[in-house]
A and B are shown apart, each in its own frame.
Chain A
Amino acid sequence: MSADDVGGPRQPMLRVRQLVKHFPLKGQWGRGAGTVCAVDGIDFEVLKGETLGVVGESGCGKSTTARLLMHLIERTGGEIDFDGRTVGGRGLTLKDFRRQVQMVFQDSYSSLNPRLTIEDSVAFGPQVHGVEARTSVSRARELLARVGLEPRRFAERYPHELSGGQRQRVNIARALALQPRLIILDEAVSALDKSVEAQVLNLLLDLKEEFGLTYLFISHDLNVVRYISDRVMVMYLGQVVEIGASEEIFVAPKHPYTKALLASMPSMDPDRRTQEAPLAGDPPNPIDPPPGCRFHTRCKFAEPVCITRVPTLAGDGHAVACLMHEPGSGHSRAAGAAA
C-alpha cells in the first residue's frame, strides 16, 4: 500500500454524501429559467483497490459527478471525503488531493496541449509538484514506455502526430505521472475503435495491478463496464437508482431502468434480434426533473404513488431506489402491499 494511505484497506478511498450540483439557467431579462439538476443528492463509496463502474445515459450526471469529484467545478452541496479526510480540510490540501486523484478524459486530442511534446505533457504534473525538470522528463519517458509508447519514437512527438489510441495512452501516462491512488476514467475508451479499446482496457487492468490503483470508470458502454468493474452504479437524471456488485447488476438487475438499459443493448445473435424497444422516447431533460421517482415517466410499472413518493436507495451491498423494492411503499408490487 502507498505511503499516502491513512485509513487502512477497509476505509473507503472516496466517500460521497448528498452530493448536489445545480446549474441555474439564465432566462431572458434576467429572470431565472429553471435549474438544471445535474447531480441531485447522490451517496456512494469507492472502496480501496476496486473498480467502480458508473453507467447511465446523457443527462444522468455521470460526467458532472466526475468533475465534482476532481473539484473542477464547485458543488452546490454535499461532502466528499478522500481516505477519511475532507478535501481542503485538515491534513489534506486541494493540491495534495489532486496529486492522489487523477482523471482521464474522453477526448484524447482535446486533453493534450497541441503545442507541447507528449513527454512535456506527461512531465508537467510532477513539475507542478516540485519535481526537477530533468527528473520529471526521464520519468515521463519511463511511463511512456510503460504504457506501450517507445520513448525513442514517441517522446518528442506532438499530439496530432499520434493516433487516438496512442494519445489515450499518453493521457493515461500523464495521469500516472503523479503516482495517484485513484484514477477517474470519464468515457476514456469510448472514442476508440474496438480493437484499440481492447488494448487500452488490457493496459488499464495491468496498470491497476502493478500500481495498486483504484478506478472510477464512467462509460455508456455496458459491455465494457461489465468487463472492467467490480461494482456498478446506475444513474438516472442526477440520481443513483441502483448500485451493487457488477455480476448482480448484470445478471439480476432490480430497478426497471437498469433492466431496460440492459435490454437495450443490441443483440449479438442474429436469430434473437430485439423485437421491441424496452423504453420509448428519450431520457427527459434534467431541467426541472419529474417529481417523485424520476423514472416514472418512462416506467411501465409506474403507479400513482411513484409520482408522489420519492424512493430511497436502500439495501445492503446491492441497493436499489425503487418503490417496488420498498416494503410498504404503497406500490402494488412492493412487499407487504397485499397484506
Chain B
Amino acid sequence: MSPTPDDPLVLVRDLRVTFTGGRAPVQAVSGVDLTVHRGEAVALIGESGSGKSVTLRALLRLHSPKRTVMEGTIRVVGQDVLALGGRALADYRGKVASMIFQEPLLALDPVYTVGKQIVESILRHENVSATDARKRALQLFERVRIPSPERRLDAYPHEMSGGMRQRAMIALALACNPQVLLADEPTTALDATVQIQILLLLRELQRELGLAIVFVTHDIGAAIEVADRIAVMYAGRIVEEGPARTLIRAPRHPYTLALLQSRAHGALAKGSRLQTIGGSPPDLAHLPQGCAFAERCRFAADACLATQPPALELAPGHQARCLRTEATAAAANAVTAMA
C-alpha cells in the first residue's frame, strides 16, 4: 500500500457506471481506462451525454449509491476508491482529491463567508488551530491571486464577481492540499476574458503544486490551453486519447476529426458550410453491439457494426478505438494539406 513516486495518481480500469433510476438502465460509462500522473493535466472532452462528467464524478463517488451501479477499478493515490466507506470516503474527498464545479454560486454555501468555508474545511480534515487555518486560507487566496485577499475572505459568495468566485472555489478545493484536482467545466459559465485567466491559473497550479488535474470540458480550445493529454469521449467510452499536440494535429478517430472540423473558426471562408456530423448520439439505454459511432461515421465498414473496436495503440501514448484509423488519417492529412 505504499505508492512509489512513479505510480500514477489516478488509475481507472474498465470503469462502468450504470444509472438504474429510470425505466431502463442507462449505461452512462461503459469501460473507461484512464491514467493520470503527478503534475499532469488530462482533459476529457466530448458532447453532452458522452459520459465525461459522469466519469469525473465517479472519481469522487458523487453518484447516488441507490441509483448507480459502479464496476471496475478506481485507484487514486493508492486508495481503492470504490471500496472506501463512511469516514474514509469523507477523508478522501477534499484531502486526496477535490473538485471544482461549473457554477461556483451553487457549489459554495450562500450563508457563510468564503473564508469561513475554507477554514471549516481545513478544521474538518486536519488537527490545526482556527488561527492557523485562517492563516492558511489567506495564503490560499493569495495563491489563487485574489486581490485584497484579507478583505475578500470575509465576503459572501454573492458579493463576489464570477471570476473571483471561481478562484475562491479553487482555493476551497485546495484547502487540504489534495494531490488530484477534478474540474467539471470550470470556465464554461465565465466571460471570455475571465475564462483565460482561470485556465492560466489552473496551468500554474498544476506546474507549481505538482497537481494531477482531470479537466472536463466541451470546449476544445480550453482543453488545449490546460491539458497535456486529451481524451475524447463518445457514448460512455474514451474513443481516442493522446498528447494534445498529436490529437489536434493528427486525429485518428473519425469522431475526433469530425469534432475538430465542425468548429467554426477563423480560417473558414465566408459563406462556406460547416462540416457536420449527421444523426444523433446513440440511446445510452440501448447501446449498439458494435462501435457506437459507426452509424454516424463516414468511414464505417461492416466490421464496425459487428464488434466493439479494441483500443489500438498508434504511437506511445496515443490510442484510438477504431478499425478505420488509416482512412481517418488520410482524411485528416487531406484537410491539413488543403489548409
Contact = CB atoms under 8 A, between A and B. Distances in A.
- A and B are partners in one complex rather than unrelated chains: yes
Interface in A118-159: none
Contacts of B199: 266, 274
Which size class do A's interface residues fall under?
A: 35 or more
A334 B244 CA distance: 43
A279 B193 contact: yes
Contact of A198 (B218, B222, B276, B280): B276
Contacts of B224: 266-270, 273
B163 A282 contact: yes
B333 interface: no
Contacts of A228: 264
Contacts of A224: 264
Given A222-B192, A282-B161, A270 B245 contact: yes
Nearest to B267: A268
A290 B47 CA distance: 40
A97 B273 CA distance: 31
B219 A277 contact: no
Contacts of B221: 265-268
Interface residues of B, number: 43
Contact of A195 (B164, B196, B259): B259
Given A57-B191, A57-B192, A260-B193, A282 B164 contact: yes
A266 B245 contact: no
B193 A202 contact: no
Given A205-B271, A267-B221, A270-B245, A277 B193 contact: yes
Nearest to A275: B200
A170 B248 CA distance: 34
Contacts of A195: 47, 258-259, 262, 276-277
Given A195-B262, A266-B224, A202 B192 contact: no
Given A58-B191, A283-B193, A267 B225 contact: yes
A52 to B, nearest CB: 15
Contacts of B285: none
Nearest to B160: A282
Interface in B211-235: 218-222, 224-225
Interface of A: 57-58, 163-165, 193-199, 201-202, 205, 220-224, 226-228, 246-247, 250, 260-261, 264-271, 273-274, 276-283, 285
Nearest 9 CB-CB pairs, A to B?
Answer: A266-B221, A227-B264, A193-B47, A57-B191, A282-B161, A198-B274, A198-B262, A277-B197, A270-B244
